[in-house]
Amino acid sequence: MIPSRFFLCGPTASGKTTLALALAEAWDGEIVNGDAFQVYRGLEILSAAPSEKEQATCPHHLFGIIDTAESMDAAKYATLANPVIEEIENRGKTAIIVGGSGLYLKFLTHGIAEAPPGDEEIRAELKGWSVAQIYERLKELDPDEAARQNSQNRRHLSRALEICLVTGRKASALRQNFEDPTLLEGLKGIVLNWTPQILAERISLRTRVMLDSGAINEVKELPLEVGTIRQAIGVREIDAYLNKEVTLEECEERITISTRQYAKRQRNWFRRESWLRSVDGSLSLARKIVEINRWD
């Protein structure tokens, strides 16, 4: 039975776009972006967004809809995506949500966590703190949240600490709805899995192709003052190359390493999503579709 909505997840460079196009053709479905950076205009190459040719094969939604100067987060994304998915379903089509941004997809499947708006005064203060100081303070106020976070991700750590300071509560408490097992009922989705070695090779190849295909010019054209988009892997590394701080080879190596580290975090995130079925990424496209269609 063809589902009304289906989540196609996996780490970066795992082959999600190709499989999504095949599923859309097989199910007469429509593809909905679930990636944090593919929502932006102007970063199509670096974010590995579907090409114009690929998007022309079936309806695509929420790709390239946000200006580079705008900020984006999981809650804002969910408010955009939910009406789109419901409209697709109401037309009797299958919404195929494709992405590797775990929190964005979590907000779709488990609801939006009630977090306070940003506090500019606290944010200004935290800018003067080192990442280590932010992490240590978060461990004091909310050890569970600190354990969940990447100790080097300044943006995520700062936001978690900001929530604690603004609300006087633990940021981890806001995730309680994420643990509600009743919300898993009826969810259907897969995660594409590769061995770490093969995925690393795919990441290396894609990084090289991106740099050869115009990613450097994309970053060069970005305004100096932009929002969330500068958190995308590759932007800072290419900036360093454009500023002659590193060679092109060093730039490529830095992007590759950062992407591998991100892919590892993605794998760990999706491993905790027990409702997702694992599908071997090395299977042929036809075999993957057969495996998916065997869903009970």
Summarised one tens digit per residue, pLDDT across range 235-265 is 999 999 999 999 999 999 999 999 999 999 9
Res 155: pLDDT: 81
**Residue-level pLDDT at 227:** 67
- Residues whose CB falls within 8 Å of the CB of residue 85, separated by 6 or more in sequence, listed in order: 5, 32, 95, 97, 108
Cα gap 1→8, rounded to integer Å: 17
Closest CA to 192 of 261, 112, 278: 278
Distance CA 104, CA 38 (A): 12
Report the distance separating Cα 153 and Cα 131, nearest Å: 8
Contact between 108 and 81 under an 8 Å Cβ cutoff? The reply is yes
**pLDDT at res. 121:** 83
Does residue 30 have a pLDDT over 90? yes
pLDDT above 90: residue 296? no
Nearest to 37 by CA among 16, 66, 13: 66
Q: What is the CA radius of gyration of the chain?
A: 19
Q: Judge whether residue 216 has pLDDT over 90.
A: yes
Say if 5-113+181-293 and 120-178 have the same CATH topology: no
Domain boundaries, the chain: 5-113+181-293, 120-178
| C-alpha to C-alpha distance for 116 and 113, rounded to whole angstroms | 10
Q: pTM of the full predicted structure?
A: 0.81
Give the class (CATH, top level) of 120-178: mainly alpha
User: Across all residues in the chain, what is the average pLDDT?
Assistant: 90
**Cα–Cα dist 145/139, whole Å:** 8
Secondary structure (3-state) at 93: coil
| Residue-level pLDDT at 164 | 84
Query: What class does CATH assign to 5-113+181-293?
Result: alpha beta
Report which secondary-structure segment, H or E, holds 165: helix 154-167
Signed CA dihedral, 137, 142, 143, 148: sign only: negative
pLDDT recorded at residue 87: 97
210-234 residues labelled b (16+ CB within 10 A) or e (exposed): bbeeebbebbeebeeebbbbbbbbb
Q: Is the sign of the CA dihedral 4, 61, 238, 198 positive or negative?
A: positive
pLDDT-based confidence at 38, cuts 50/70/90? very high
Contacts of residue 25, Cβ cutoff 8 Å, sequence gap at least 6: 57, 58
